[in-house]
Chains A and B, each alone.
Chain A
Amino acid sequence: MAELSALTTSGPVPRAAPSIPPSSPPLPAPNVSAPESPGENSIAKSSLCNDNAADTPAARAGDVSLSLQPVSAPPALPSDTPVTFLGHDPASQREASGKDPEPRAHVIKQEMEPAEPARAAPWMAETETPLLASAASHQSEERPTSPEFKSGPNLYPDVHVTHNPRAGVDVGQLPAGQPQVINTSNPTSGSLDSSDAAEEGKPRPLEQAQQPQAQLPPPPDTPNEARKAELPLTPTRAEQPSPTIPLIHEPAYSVPLPNPNPRPAPDTLSYLESASLMSGTLESLSGLGDDGSSIGSDSEINGLTVRRTDRYGFLGGSQYSDSSEKETRVEVARQREVKWLDMFRHWDKWIKHRFQKVKLRCRKGIPSSLRSRAWQLLSNSQELLEANPGKFEELEREPGEAKWLDIIEKDLHRQFPFHEMFAARGGHGQQDLFRILKAYTIYRPDEGYCQAQAPVAAVLLMHMPAEQAFWCLVQIC
């Protein structure tokens, strides 16, 4: 009987007007015409979060690797089999970056595949808290290769694209091995992906993976200039080692695309590391906190059914998105990335002359790997960032006004408490959130802090470092 539904919650709220997203069902005009049964009007929370992130390679890559399993994973693979982890399972990367990385990583991957969300349900229930599990496994050299292994939090848990150029099988849907667009020396087989063509009426050559060059031995460690040039320029945090780099032993021709998710893994990594090191965090995770506050105790994960994160990093709560929702095909996602990268290269021209097209592409969903860059360009915050070197640090050094700090602090643990980045009290996510919200109150003292800024800031932080997120926030607010 009881119904509880969110009306206008995590999305950004225009301050002047009632915060009703246009897509909302009849929101109670707060008078006579209030709906009778609120429960029927539930609205997706957080449009920022649950938007078209599905349109990313991350969304599909897991499926692809699954479909490849029978052919690309014979147990007796030659040890030089290139293995490409386009996605970032932090745990598997640590694993893989150990000695003898490639075959081992490959094997692990195979073992992990059953951990596809739908099938994983039975064992997930008995998995320990993912954060704890990962923190613990980080300490030990010996990590389990059982499916539980994959239950570690991961912003993009499903991305494991394996590329085996020697497989020589029909892998039409193998994305990693397909030189796209850039590889002009290799005439396309003429097969156009119909969905790509349909998508924007602008077909692009799409190579098929079964082409002869797939048999060539991979040029070891050939620097791929195209690739480098296209890597998103978003700086990663200084303290984050880039665990992806040692793993990329792919042939130069194989993936002209940037790693689709260059940032989330480092984020997750450093977050987990910090979680395991930070005093109080583990305590909070295991529910040992002694704070009996009614509004939020330290036992943050208490009462939460422990499960792996969804593709956005949510462990649960109302924002948790089911893996069953419609996902964009990986080829489409890749095409989108290529198109976005092309726009980045000529951004000013695109904005000036083809703005409608940019808008259209935004509405189709910015590939999540490129959102950081895209948001900074779209909001023009990058310019602000470059024009104000050191300004953020300067703002951080200032003490800030107590009345704002007080409210901000009260809100830190109430912002996406079921997101892996923000779940731990005093964790990196909450710290960064505090930093940028506080900096904003100093930057614009007349405005101070509005609670609706917190979800916006948090979503920005899911995609970019604090300083970039701050300038983005400044531009958005």
Chain B
Amino acid sequence: MAYAYLFKYIIIGDTGVGKSCLLLQFTDKRFQPVHDLTIGVEFGARMITIDGKQIKLQIWDTAGQESFRSITRSYYRGAAGALLVYDITRRDTFNHLTTWLEDARQHSNSNMVIMLIGNKSDLESRREVKKEEGEAFAREHGLIFMETSAKTASNVEEAFINTAKEIYEKIQEGVFDINNEANGIKIGPQHPTTNSTLSGSQGGQHAGGGCC
């Protein structure tokens, strides 16, 4: 299907925080309580619309265990957005955020948009990390923050779409060089090859192009 842009995402975070479930909820709109361990990397994709434009999100879901770190590191490069996920019912997953963030910053391009996600917000009774703590951490490190539940689908769409909006805005601002695919952004095959997108925002025009 034609799209105006393709954004590459990566989902990172400790093992068992719900990365694969978030992806499944976003791409398939369903929650699977049991699923296979993620070994290495998996991915999913979905089309969204921002500002009248079709945008394809290509999402890489990584394995959380430390032993896979060397593999997942290689996936940061060329990602336009990252979802850094922790589990609000397990404090250790929150405590590890700094190492994840270091890793991400070190191996990605500097413009990568990082969204901090506190997952499993449906399990309020087992909460170990306060929402305020997540917000504070996000503020401190310049991340967008959101609590989600892959189970109830609460905020899942928003998490992915807000990240895309942020990336899209950066494109509009000319921060991203969309012709350099190392930034994790690709212009769609049907997209007019003009470079007018960088400064001017003639959204309607492109949306028309993306539809056929």
Which residues of A line the B interface, CB within 8 A?
1-11, 13, 15-16, 18-20, 28, 30-34, 36-39, 45, 292-297, 299-300, 302-303, 317-319, 407, 410-411, 413-418, 450-452, 454-455
Contacting residues, chain B, for A30 (C-beta < 8 A): 60, 74-78
Is B58 an interface residue, CB under 8 A from the partner?
Answer: yes
Contacts of B101-140 to chain A: CB distance below 8 A: 119-120, 122-123
Interface size on B, residues (CB 8 A): 58
Instruction: Enumerate chain A residues within 8 angstroms of B26, measured Cβ to Cβ.
Output: 2
Interface membership of B46, Cβ < 8 A: yes
In the bound assembly, the distance between CA atoms of A118 and B143 in angstroms comes to: 53
**B63-77 CB contact bits vs A (8 Å, 1 = yes)?**
101011011001111
Q: Nearest Cβ distance between residue B24 and chain A, in whole angstroms? A: 6
A417 touches B43 (CB 8 A): no
- Of B15-23, B164-172, B193-201, B203-211, the one contacting chain A is B15-23
Contact (A294, B123) CB under 8 Å given A4-B28, A34-B58, A299-B33: yes
A5 proximity list for chain B (CB < 8 A): 42-44
A38 to B8, CA, bound (A): 11
* Contact of B191 with A by CB under 8 A: no
The answer to whether A1 and B46 touch (CB under 8 A), given A295-B16, A407-B15, A451-B67, is yes
Interface pair B71/A295, CB less than 8 Å apart:
no
Q: Which residues of B contact A450 (CB under 8 A)?
A: 65, 67-68
CA distance A1 to B42 in the complex (A): 17
Interface-centre pick from B1, B43, B75 (highest chain A CB count, 10 A): B43
User: Smallest distance from the beta carbon of B77 to chain A beta carbons, Å?
Assistant: 5
* Separation of A379 and B211 alpha carbons in the complex (Å): 56
Contact A294 B120 (CB under 8 A): yes
Could you tell me the distance between the alpha carbons of A36 and B33 in the complex, rounded to whole angstroms? Answer: 29
- Report whether A10 and B1 are in contact in the complex, using a CB–CB cutoff of 8 Å: no
What residues of chain B lie closer than 8 Å to A296, measured between beta carbons? Answer: 33-34
6 nearest A-B pairs in the assembled complex, by CB-CB distance: A19-B40, A417-B34, A8-B40, A2-B27, A4-B44, A32-B181
Chain B residues whose C-beta falls within 8 Å of the C-beta of A9 in the assembled complex: 36, 38-40, 42
If A18-B71, A30-B76, A32-B181 touch, whether A452 touches B42 (CB-CB below 8 Å) is no
- Some 25 contacts from A to B, beta carbons below 8 A apart, are A1-B1, A1-B46, A2-B27, A3-B44, A4-B27, A4-B45, A7-B43, A9-B36, A16-B70, A19-B71, A30-B60, A30-B78, A34-B8, A34-B181, A36-B6, A292-B151, A293-B33, A407-B65, A413-B34, A414-B36, A414-B37, A418-B34, A450-B65, A451-B65, A455-B39
* Residues from chain A with Cβ under 8 Å of B78 in the complex: 30-32, 34
A318 close to B36 (CB less than 8 A)? yes
Of all chain A residues, which has the CB nearest B16? Answer: A410
Check A414–B39 contact: CB distance below 8 A: no
Give Cα A31 to B24, complex, Å.
23
Structural contact, A39 and B45, CB atoms closer than 8 A: yes
Residues of B within 8 A of A418 (CB): 34
Contact A7 B41 (CB under 8 A): yes
- Most B Cβ at <10 Å: residue of A16, A299, A319, A450: A450
